[in-house]
Structure 1
Amino acid sequence: MALVVTLGVVHAWFHGGPGTLFAAHFDTPVQYTGMSFVYQMSGIFASGITPLIMTVLLVLDLRKRDLHVPTGHARSGWQ
């Protein structure tokens, strides 16, 4: 229930106002340019950086647990 209230009410309070404020202060071409820029950049960063961050976190976790981490190159024992 707390999650529903938090995401349904509090989130709307914080994010409803700025959208209305920006729409009132900028002309239509500027609004659409800003929305397009943010949409495209968020797609690049979310899609491009997230797998890299996840890979780093997994490698660090495997090293912390002292497990084998594949490195992609031949080891001296494998000849």
Structure 2
Amino acid sequence: MERVGFDVVRRQDGASGQVLHAEVRLGGAVLMVVSDDAEYQRPGLVGRSTGQGLYLLVDDVDDVYRKAVGAGGN
């Protein structure tokens, strides 16, 4: 997250190094990131909605994409 411009506010790692919980900030936005180690019920579609998702508005999407891929994202 730091490599694409987020500041890590808080991070809790599991025994094998995976992120269990983290809070990151980009400008005035704070996001909570959690693991998927439990069985969660995802909301179904409402109309044409995806039922989940995140939209992040950035000034240069190509730059953010390159940074994310360079940091190991896929």
TM-score interval, normalised by the smaller of the two chains: under 0.3
Structure of greater Rg: 1
TM-score of the two chains, using structure 2 as the length reference? 0.25
Higher strand share: 2
Q: TM-score, normalised by structure 1?
A: 0.24
Q: Which has the higher contact order (CA 8 A, sep 6+)?
A: 2
